[in-house]
Chain A
Amino acid sequence: MTTSEFLLVGVLLAPLLGAVAALLLRGRAGTITATVAAALSLLLAAPMFMARGVVESSGRGAALWHEVDWTWVPALELRLNLGVDGISYPLVVLTALLTLLCCGYLMWQRPERANQLAALLLVIEVGILGTFLAFNLVLFFLAFEVVLLPMAAVIAGWGGPARRAAALKFALYTLAGSVLLLIGVVAVVVQTGTADIARLTAEPGLLSHDAQLWIFGLFAIAFAVKSPLWPLHTWLPDAHTEAPTVGSVILAGVLLKMGTYGLIRVGVGVTPEGAAAFAPALGVLAVAAILIGSLVCLSQVEVKRLIAYSSVGHMGFVLLGIATLNEIGLQAALIGNIAHGLLTGLLFFLAGAIKDRAHTGLLADLGGLRERQPWLAGVLGFAALGSLGLPGLAGFWGEAFAVVASVQRGGTLWTVLAVLAAIGGALTAAYLLRLLRRVSHGPQAATLAGAPEARVPELVAWSPLVALALLLGVMPMLVLGMSADAVAALTAAVTP
């Protein structure tokens, strides 16, 4: 067994076996096992950047750092073809990290049936990692689907009062998107006779221009539901609001990234001509998402719902970056993905902590958090400032460079889009500052009287996110440097 096989298969196998073990071992032992499995998965994911360059690049196809290619179901062109490159590596590490933090958080929080919840989180991790690592289209689709039901189960089993309806809505919405993805994937396989993403990316001529157009249309809808892109976002606020804290963290932190990653890897990679043709439409919708998401946020009265809608706006910036189809835009999308994962994950952790203490998420009933809980308020302030795109923190790069990319793309449409997106960025600041004013400042609310300060396990769970948000804010090249080659190769052919 080579190092590549060990790392790539191990990173999927560890959480899978961990999930089974966590189900079999009842109670606390199960949660601890799950946490160990998640830690193992992170340990296997992290060193993937070493010994890279195993597979040489060819044409638009990026150089893979590691690759595994095993036969599974020849009849369906399904191969266990896993690979990692600069585009997927940061997302893989983010996924493993957030899952580990969530499992650890469960160990401390001890909700009912914690071992089952932890097992579901691990299954979700397998699906998300599989999506990021798959270099076979059919495998990509399978992994994309794996996430669906466990996430719905997390919402339905451990969520808020309206959890069942929210879970079903989430499941139906995302399934509707992914059956379109299925048709697109099968159409690609039938028309080209291969499901190898690397080969399809390297030779876009395998698909005719017309086929690329309609297949990208299917892909775009599927990924837009997952991302989510306005107007296909309506499942998201309900799902986020009802989900338990760990569910929201995973959902916002990495699950949404499957959509944007898919759009880059599969949409732009396999059907570049379709992507070029649909780019203006995508860009308009992305900017609409930024503006509408921000405006809706301004009128939200509940913490989790506000953060959920803020995801619509942030993912709008990511999608705008992808829509520009130039190097800066895709780079902005990638770092925007990571930053959003870190900061929104942190915000949902904090919202969960506040709701646990105040037993309400209504902004009207909160206030004065900084009076008695300075640490909690401090971290909340940090996360909010990061999320609104303060230079020096991770959130800045993605939003700023999406706008830069749009300006660089040139032409009236893209310039107007850039201006509108910049206005949307200002609105982002408005609603996040409103959140801070309502929650942290003002007189202390009755609901928070006597509520405890942030506890050490909580701070431990949050600290990696805080540290990484700072680190990426100061040194974005940590992510950008890794993905530069891959993105340059990918955009070479599509940049108009």
Chain B
Amino acid sequence: MNLQLMLPLLVAAGTALAVLVVDLITQPRWRWPLGAGLLGAVATAMTAAFTQPRQIGTFCAGLAAPGSDAIMPVDCALVFDSRARLVSVLVAALTVGALLLYVPALRRGDAPAGETVFLFACAMTGGVALAAAGDLITLIVALETLTIPLYALVALHRRRAGEAAAAAVTFFANSVAATAVTLLGAALLYLASGTVQLRGLVSAPLFATGQWRPVALTGLALILVGLGFKVAAAPLHAWAPATYEGAPVPVAAFLSTASKLGGVVAILIVVDGVLATGAAGDDRSMFITAGITLAVLAALSMLIGTLVALRQRRTVRLLAWSSIAQAGFILAPLGGLTGLALAGQADGLLDAALAYTVFFLVLELAAFSAVVALRPDAPDGGTLADLRGLGRTAPWRAAALTFALVGLAGLPPMLAGLFAKITVIQALLRVDSYRLAVLVALVSVIGLAVYWRPVAALYRAADGAAEAARVPWAPAAALGLATAAGLLLTIDPQLLYAAVTAWR
């Protein structure tokens, strides 16, 4: 056991416990557990950022010499490489963002502070564990740790108990079904190979003979489809609009950012294992299966998400459908796996998916923050008509929302979104996946029509020129941080590319 590598995970789990204890002592004041949660999330991010990433793991199956940690990461349950570091930092930062957005609701007593912050901290723990997961069991357990608190978070809102409960049930039922699919896939893979270590497939004796390969391929496809649920990729997307709309807006923000990041990372970890298998066995069937599955998920998500978003009238629903489309853009580079001749060429595809995810997370968090900041007193996101006139009465917040939406559409002046699109298309063209690249390009044209409507609503004159509500400090801080991150990535995206490619 290597405690040093587990430090971020321990800090995250400790945050959850600390919040419970603080809440117990300071009841019924909401500031204390919130402060503990924010502090813990920041500490998690800092610990993760300062932990030296290494290609070694902990909880390993192989035997190590006493006192040495020199085991290949192949057999380990946790591998804290630099991708794990990046993802841990992001999960913690997104938790900070979601908590800041929740401050006005906690102040009003719409949700119990202690429980809410505890659940966020638990979800964060799951995300940090997931980032470093090295085998299928850890992966699925961590992903469930990330998801289960969210069922409760969706429902925990006094002013909208009815819709929130319905949303939570929708989320729960869909999630259970998806987890069952993932587990079935994992079981089939285990059956075929005799190991839960994804990278261990290479050395698995049963797998080498080839007669179990169809079972393994089925298992792989099922795992990926099941994980597609977490990123809200079509065809397992139907839960997202209903859940986002019913949930409190900050929780919807967390669902569409941190939870989606969890799904992406899980898919990346599985694909990594598959590629290791392909590289060692000189066998393309595994990554072609993964590529076809992900290409179908990506194409369906982009098309369905964008086309349905065109018809939405409610702000959060529109963001929900657009985040389904964005899931398609995230997965699109991985669809390029089919075009690979050698597993070794896949690095660019994985990096592109992760880089796009980070660009997307920043912009999506900014968009949700702006929705909260523009209507801090409303329990939900409202309709597009509610945005009318805010361009005049709240110019800064409206400009921030405009920037975020323009970025999501992938257009200047928010270059971050455009860099994201270029990254995906470049990765796809590198492996000659022209069809997916053209689809990405054409869908982003329709995407402009989607994001045009909320932006046009912002700058349309309102009927009654009501003063915009004053924004509390916390959502303003979240909005400011997310917008600043977006501007930073606009000016110097190389920071992100360097961070993403550092992991190998």
Interface residues, chain A, with chain B CB atoms under 8 Å away: 72-76, 123, 127, 138, 142, 145-146, 148-150, 153, 156-157, 164, 168, 171-172, 175-176, 179-180, 182-183, 186-187, 189-190
Contact = CB atoms under 8 A, between A and B. Distances in A.
Interface stretch (B84-92, B186-194, B211-219, B410-418): B410-418
B411 A190 contact: no
A180 B441 contact: yes
Interface string B490-504: 001110010001000
A190 B425 CA distance: 10
A157 B456 CA distance: 9
B384 to A, nearest CB: 14
A128 to B, nearest CB: 13
A190 B430 CA distance: 6
B494 A172 contact: no
Given A76-B497, A179-B441, A182-B425, 7 more contacts: A72-B494, A145-B412, A156-B456, A164-B456, A182-B422, A186-B426, A190-B429
B448 A171 contact: yes
B423 A145 contact: no
Contacts, number: 79
B20 to A, nearest CB: 43
A175 B448 contact: yes
A73 B413 contact: no
Contacts of A182: 421-422, 425, 441
Contacts of B494: 72-75
Nearest to B428: A186
A142 B411 contact: no
A150 B412 CA distance: 9
A299 B151 CA distance: 64
A171 B492 CA distance: 27
B412 A148 contact: yes
A344 B438 CA distance: 36
Contact of A179 (B412, B430, B442, B497): B442
Contacts of A149: 406, 411-413
Contacts of A73: 419, 492-494, 497
A186 B438 CA distance: 12
A142 B430 contact: no
B232 to A, nearest CB: 24
Given A76-B426, A145-B411, A186-B425, A157 B448 contact: no
B403 to A, nearest CB: 11
B425 A172 contact: no
Nearest to A144: B412
Interface string B255-295: 00000000000000000000000000000000000000000
B329 to A, nearest CB: 13
A168 B452 contact: yes
- Closest CB pairs A-B (n = 10): A75-B497, A179-B441, A146-B412, A190-B429, A176-B445, A186-B426, A186-B425, A145-B412, A73-B494, A175-B445
Contacts of B21: none
B246 to A, nearest CB: 31
Contact of B426 (A72, A150, A176, A189): A189
A187 B441 CA distance: 13
Contacts of A153: 459
A157 B392 CA distance: 12
Which interface residue of B437, B441, B456, B459 has the most chain A CB atoms within 10 A? Answer: B441
B207 to A, nearest CB: 34
B413 A146 contact: yes
A127 B412 CA distance: 10
Contact of A172 (B406, B423, B449, B493): B449
A338 to B, nearest CB: 26
Contacts of B445: 172, 175-176, 179
Given A149-B412, A157-B459, A171-B452, A186 B422 contact: yes
A189 B444 CA distance: 21
Contact of A183 (B415, B418, B419, B425): B425
Contacts of A190: 426, 429-430
Contacts of A187: 429
Contacts of A168: 449, 452
A205 to B, nearest CB: 20
A484 B497 CA distance: 42
A76 B438 contact: no
Interface in B340-378: none
A431 B205 CA distance: 83
A183 B443 CA distance: 13
B430 A138 contact: no
Nearest to B424: A186
Contacts of A146: 412-413
Interface string B446-457: 001100100010
Given A74-B494, A149-B406, A172-B449, A183 B412 contact: no
A76 B413 contact: no
Contacts of B426: 76, 186, 189-190
Nearest to B412: A146
A127 B456 CA distance: 22
A138 B422 contact: yes
Contacts of A175: 411, 444-445, 448
A304 B441 CA distance: 33
Nearest to B501: A75
A132 to B, nearest CB: 16
Contacts of B423: 75-76
A156 B419 CA distance: 26
A74 B496 CA distance: 12
Contacts of A171: 448, 452
B406 A183 contact: no
Contacts of B493: 73, 75-76
A145 B425 CA distance: 16
Nearest to A150: B413
A187 B430 CA distance: 8
A74 B498 CA distance: 10
Given A149-B406, A168-B449, A168-B452, A183 B441 contact: yes
A186 B421 CA distance: 11
Contacts of B459: 153, 156-157
A81 to B, nearest CB: 16
16 contacts: A75-B423, A75-B493, A76-B422, A142-B418, A145-B412, A149-B406, A157-B459, A168-B449, A171-B448, A172-B448, A176-B442, A182-B441, A183-B429, A186-B425, A186-B437, A190-B429
